[in-house]
C-alpha cells in the first residue's frame, strides 16, 4: 500500500537532530566541491583498551571530556570557517549558558586570526534557524558578564542574525547565509 505523504514531512526535521542535518549539508557541500567542512569527533578520554586476539581493539573504559573548541570547522572560499550548533526548546529567548567560556574565547581567537566564526541556532519548537555571527554573540556575552541578562531575546536574534530557510539538498543551506554576511 502507498502511504500518503505526511504533511510537511519533506521540510520538517522531526526525527533529525540539528547535528544530523548539518552533517548531511556538509556532505552535500563536499560532494559538490563547494566547501570542506567537517564535524569534529566527540572528545573522549580513553582509559582502558582491550586487544582481543584476531579482532579489533575495544575501548572498555572512557569518559566524555568537555570540548575545548566548537563543533565544526573547515575551509570555504579560502576562508577558515568555525562554528557551533545549538538547539533550544525555549521560544522567546536563547540562554547563554549553552556556551562555555572557552568556546567564546576560541571563537574570538578565530576571528582575531582572520577566520569566520558563528553559531547556528535552532528554535526547535518552531523549527526556525538562524546564523548568528560571533561579533553579535560576543556583544550579548559581554552584556551578561557585565551583569546584564543571561540570554539573548528572540527579537535580538532576529535583528542580528541571518535567518535560514530549510531546504532539501542541502537541508541547511547555511553557506548562503555565510555568503550574505561575510562575502
Task: Return the one option of Mg ion, a second copy, none that residue 85 interacts with (CB less than 5 to 8 A, by type).
Answer: Mg ion
Task: Return the one option of Mg ion, a second copy, none that residue 30 interacts with (CB less than 5 to 8 A, by type).
Answer: a second copy
Q: Does 117 bind Mg ion (CB under 5 A)?
A: no
- Point out which span in 11-19, 27-35, 91-99, 126-134 binds a second copy (CB under 8 A): 27-35
Q: Does 85 bind Mg ion (CB under 5 A)?
A: yes
DSSP state, residue 97: G
Angle subtended at Cα 40 by Cα 153 and Cα 38, rounded to the nearest 5 degrees: 90
Find the shortest distance in angstroms from Cβ 86 to a second copy. 19
Chain positions 136 to 165 lying near a second copy, rule: CB under 8 A, are: none
- In order, the DSSP letters of 134-171 are HHHHHHHHHHHHTT--SEEEHHHHHHHSEEE---SSSS
CA 131 vs CA 8, 46, 117, 159, 180: distances in Å: 23, 34, 10, 11, 11
44 is written with which cell numbers?
573522549
Residues that bind a second copy (CB under 8 A): 1-5, 30, 33, 35-36, 38, 40-44, 46-51, 56-64, 68-69, 73-82, 106, 109-110, 112-115
Amino acid at each position: 500500500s502507498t502511504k500518503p505523504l505526511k504533511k510537511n514531512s519533506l521540510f520538517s526535521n522531526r526525527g533529525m537532530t540539528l547535528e544530523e542535518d548539518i552533517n548531511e549539508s556538509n556532505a552535500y557541500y563536499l560532494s559538490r566541491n563547494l566547501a570542506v567542512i567537517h564535524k569534529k569527533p566527540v572528545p573522549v578520554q580513553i582509559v582502558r583498551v582491550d586487544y582481543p586476539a584476531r579482532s579489533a581493539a575495544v575501548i572498555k573504559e572512557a569518559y566524555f571530556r568537555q570540548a575545548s573548541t566548537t563543533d565544526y570547522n573547515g575551509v570555504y572560499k579560502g576562508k577558515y570557517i568555525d562554528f557551533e550548533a545549538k538547539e533550544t526548546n525555549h521560544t522567546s529567548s536563547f540562554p547563554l549558558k549553552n556556551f562555555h567560556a572557552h568556546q567564546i574565547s576560541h571563537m574570538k581567537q578565530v576571528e582575531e586570526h582572520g577566520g569566520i566564526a558563528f553559531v547556528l541556532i535552532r528554535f526547535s519548537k518552531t523549527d526556525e534557524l538562524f546564523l548568528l555571527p560571533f561579533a553579535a554573540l560576543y556583544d550579548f556575552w559581554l552584556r551578561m558578564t557585565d551583569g546584564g541578562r543571561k540570554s539573548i531575546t528572540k527579537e535580538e536574534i532576529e535583528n542580528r542574525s541571518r535567518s535560514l530557510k530549510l531546504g532539501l539538498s542541502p537541508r541547511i543551506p547555511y553557506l548562503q547565509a555565510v555568503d550574505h554576511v561575510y562575502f
